[in-house]
């Protein structure tokens, strides 16, 4: 058997990487698992992302009004979310669509944070806005359209806040890992990867949910992986089942859109769950969280036995 065809890091089976993957993602080696670094745990307030606890981030696509945000924050908190999502700066497909409340939205998020004991994740779209957004957010979200905006990645990294990096809608896994490496190189190790669906020839859904990307990222990268079933599906009826598959694939958390009245949402209403839909989704996750534990156990206990590359399908 040729040496190159063996799993590398044979001294530590739990963190082995196939040589093929090691080569393919060689320019992002800092975010790949290694014997010295197999797990990144991102501290957020008094909890962690990437540890044992499964973390749900939920809330509206856009911050609209105080009532909308506070009602949603209270509800998602009661249903088990730890982090409130909500866009104050919105990258919209149309330049004529609602672009977000800006600073007013950030202030509403800060109010919800204080009242509901939730951490805040919100998108930052421009490097100029990083200091302002970082003042209010516990996690900075880099959107799909900005995954390769390196000036923004560097500015966001320099803020010191944890970063949720969404996969570009036309980005490969290698592209995603390269952008994560840029954030790491800019001095910020607190990175979460987010699979939110990619563009394919399929148009029945808004995007194609790449569940295999979640499975692969959990094998090759030490960074936490968050699934966004809302933007992947584009339709609320599909969100719970996509969430369940992501949990079974051992995602570390979810990013889900929830709105008190999705029909009236200013953005992404079709894919937003209402309160009872969110509650049902969370309750239905229970058995899948047990499957997640099994998947994590397998990942940590030599899921991949050393074997020749030819035997790998
Ligand atoms: C969002 O989270 O509301 C959003 C705009 O996501 P994406 O960048 O994945 O489209
Ligand atoms: Mn949205």
pLDDT digits over 42-88, tens only? 999 999 999 999 999 999 999 999 999 999 999 999 999 999 999 99
**pLDDT class of 299 with cuts at 50, 70, 90:** confident
Residue 302 has pLDDT above 50, yes or no: yes
Which ligand is located closest to the Cα atom of residue 269? 2
Of ligand 1's atoms, which has the minimum distance to the CA of residue 145?
8
Give the pLDDT mean for 240-249: 98
**pLDDT class of 93 with cuts at 50, 70, 90:** confident
Hey, which of 94, 166, 268 would you mutate to test ligand 1's pocket, going by the most ligand atoms within 8 Å of its Cβ? 166
The SS3 of residue 253 is: strand
Q: Is 111 buried (19+), middle (13-18) or exposed (0-12) by CB count in 10 A?
A: middle
Give the pLDDT mean for 137-151: 98
* Residue-wise pLDDT tens digits, 107-117: 999 999 999 99
Hey, which of 93, 123, 272 would you mutate to test ligand 1's pocket, going by the most ligand atoms within 8 Å of its Cβ? 123
**Nearest C-alpha to atom 2 of ligand 1 is from which residue?**
61
The SS3 of residue 80 is: coil
**Nearest C-alpha to atom 9 of ligand 1 is from which residue?**
144
Q: CA–CA distance from 206 to each of 134, 228, 310 (Å)?
A: 30, 12, 36
**What is the reported pLDDT for 91?**
85
Quote the CA–CA distance of 44 and 84 in Å, as a whole number. 12
Structural tokens at position 96: 């004529």
**What is the reported pLDDT for 304?**
44
Q: Are 224 and 296 a contacting pair, CB within 8 Å?
A: no
Q: Are 44 and 83 a contacting pair, CB within 8 Å?
A: yes
Quote the CA–CA distance of 273 and 237 in Å, as a whole number. 8
Q: Are 84 and 116 a contacting pair, CB within 8 Å?
A: yes
Give the pLDDT mean for 37-44: 96
Mean pLDDT computed over every residue of the chain: 92
Q: Are 164 and 121 a contacting pair, CB within 8 Å?
A: yes
Residue 284 has pLDDT above 50, yes or no: yes
Residue 144 CB less than 6 A away from ligand 1: yes
Beta bridge partners of 32: 221
Residue in 291, 294, 313 with CA at minimum distance from that of residue 303: 294
Q: What backbone phi and psi angles, to 5 degrees, belong to 130?
A: -55, -50
Q: Are 167 and 143 a contacting pair, CB within 8 Å?
A: no
Of ligand 1's atoms, which has the minimum distance to the CA of residue 144?
8
Which ligand is located closest to the Cα atom of residue 228? 1
Quote the CA–CA distance of 283 and 280 in Å, as a whole number. 5
The SS3 of residue 121 is: strand
Give the pLDDT mean for 213-227: 97
**Nearest C-alpha to atom 3 of ligand 1 is from which residue?**
61
Position with higher pLDDT, 307 vs 120: 120
**What is the reported pLDDT for 19?**
80
Quote the CA–CA distance of 224 and 178 in Å, as a whole number. 15
Residue 196 CB less than 6 A away from ligand 1: yes
Element holding 55 (H helix, E strand): strand 55-59
What value, to the nearest 5°, has the Cα angle with vertex 301 and ends 299 and 303? Answer: 55
Residue 303 has pLDDT above 60, yes or no: no
**pLDDT class of 1 with cuts at 50, 70, 90:** very low
Quote the CA–CA distance of 57 and 53 in Å, as a whole number. 13
Quote the CA–CA distance of 5 and 33 in Å, as a whole number. 18
Residue 61 CB less than 6 A away from ligand 1: yes
**What is the reported pLDDT for 2?**
42
Q: Are 169 and 148 a contacting pair, CB within 8 Å?
A: no
Hey, which of 61, 86, 267 would you mutate to test ligand 1's pocket, going by the most ligand atoms within 8 Å of its Cβ? 61
Of ligand 1's atoms, which has the minimum distance to the CA of residue 85?
2
The reported pTM is 0.92
Q: Which residues contact 246 (CB under 8 A, 6 or more apart)?
A: 195, 211, 214, 227, 229, 254
**pLDDT class of 15 with cuts at 50, 70, 90:** low
């Amino acid at each position: 058997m040729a040496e190159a065809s063996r799993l590398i890091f044979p001294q530590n089976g739990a963190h082995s990487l196939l040589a093929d993957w090691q080569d393919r993602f060689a320019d992002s080696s800092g975010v790949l698992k290694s014997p010295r670094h197999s797990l990144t745990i991102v501290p957020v307030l008094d909890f962690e992302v990437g540890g044992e606890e499964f973390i749900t981030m939920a809330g509206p696509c856009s911050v609209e009004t105080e009532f909308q945000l506070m009602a949603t924050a209270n509800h998602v908190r009661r249903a088990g979310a730890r982090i409130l999502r909500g866009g104050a700066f919105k990258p919209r497909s149309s330049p004529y669509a609602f672009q977000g409340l800006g600073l007013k939205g950030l202030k509403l998020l800060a109010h919800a944070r204080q009242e509901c004991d939730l951490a805040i994740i919100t998108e930052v779209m421009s490097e100029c806005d990083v200091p302002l957004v970082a003042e209010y957010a516990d996690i900075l979200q880099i959107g799909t359209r900005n995954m390769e905006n390196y000036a923004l990645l560097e500015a966001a990294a320099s803020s010191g806040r944890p970063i949720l990096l969404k996969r570009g809608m036309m980005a490969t896994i290698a592209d995603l890992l390269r952008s994560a490496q840029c954030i790491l190189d800019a001095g910020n190790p607190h990175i979460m990867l987010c699979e939110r669906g990619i563009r394919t020839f399929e148009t029945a859904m808004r995007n194609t949910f790449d569940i295999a990307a979640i499975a692969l990222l959990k094998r090759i990268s030490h960074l936490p992986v968050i699934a966004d079933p809302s933007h992947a599906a584009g339709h609320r009826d599909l969100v719970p089942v996509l969430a369940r598959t992501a949990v079974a694939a051992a995602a570390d958390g979810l990013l889900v859109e929830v709105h008190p009245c999705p029909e009236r949402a200013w953005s992404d209403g079709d894919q937003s769950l209402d309160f009872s839909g969110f509650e049902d989704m969370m309750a239905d996750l229970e058995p899948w969280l047990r499957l997640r534990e099994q998947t994590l156990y397998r990942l940590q206990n030599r899921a991949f036995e050393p074997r020749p590359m030819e035997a790998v399908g």
